Amino acid sequence: MITEALQQLVGIFSRRFFFNALLPTFVFTSAVTTTIVLSGWPIGTAFTWWGRLDILTRLLLLLAYFALVYFLSAAVASQWRNIVRLFEGYLLTTVAHRPIGKTWHQRRMDKMQNDTSPDPIAAYYLYPPENNRNRVLPTRLGNILLSGERYAKDRYGIDTIIFWPRLYPLLPEGFQRDYEASIIQYQFPLVVAFEASVATAICAFTLLLTHASAWTFLAVLFGGAVGAYAAYLLSLSSAIEMAEQQRSAFDLFRGRLLIAWPAFRDVRDENDTFGHITDFVVTGFQSDWDVPRDAYVERWRDTQGPA
Statement to judge: residues 219 and 137 lie in one domain: yes
Query: Does 240 lie in the same domain as 112?
Result: yes
Does 284 map to a domain?
Answer: yes
Task: Please give the average per-residue pLDDT across 188-200, as a whole number.
Answer: 96
120 and 227 co-located in one domain: yes
Residue 306 reports pLDDT greater than 60: no
130 part of a folded domain: yes
Domain range enclosing 110:
93-180+213-258
Clarify whether residues 105 and 171 are in a common domain: yes
**pLDDT tens string 5-21:** 445 445 556 888 999 99
Residue 246 sits in the same domain as residue 222 = yes
Report pLDDT digits (tens) over 38-58. 887 777 777 788 788 888 988
pLDDT above 90 covers a percentage of the chain that reads: 51
pLDDT digits (tens, 9 = 90+) for 244-297: 999 999 999 998 888 887 777 777 777 877 887 888 888 877 766 666 667 767
* 254 and 267 both lie in a single domain: no
pLDDT at 307: 44
Same domain, 169 and 270: no
pLDDT per residue as tens digits for the range 102-151: 889 988 888 888 867 667 788 889 999 888 888 899 999 999 999 999 99
Are 112 and 169 within one domain? Answer: yes
Whether 83 is in a domain gets the answer: no
In a domain, 77, yes or no: no
Domain count along the chain: 2
Statement to judge: residues 174 and 101 lie in one domain: yes
- Please indicate, yes or no, whether residues 109 and 224 belong to a single structural domain of this protein: yes
Residue 205 lies in a domain: no
pLDDT band at residue 94 using 50, 70 and 90 as cut-offs:
confident
Q: Is residue 189 part of a domain?
A: no
Q: Is residue 121 part of a domain?
A: yes
3-state DSSP of the chain: CHHHHHHHHHHHCCHHHHHHHHHHHHHHHHHHHHHHHHHHCCHHHHHHHHHHCCHHHHHHHHHHHHHHHHHHHHHHHHCHHHHHHHHHCHHHHHHCCCCHHHHHHHHHHHHHCCCCCCCHHHHHHHCCCHHHHHHCCCCHHHHHHHHHHHHHHHHHCCCHHHHHHHHHHHCCHHHHHHHHHHHHHHHHHHHHHHHHHHHHHHHHHHHHHCCCCHHHHHHHHHHHHHHHHHHHHHHHHHHHHHHHHHHHHHHHHCHHHHHHCCCHHHHHHHHHHHHHHHHHHHHCCCCCCHHHHHHHHHHHHHHHCCC
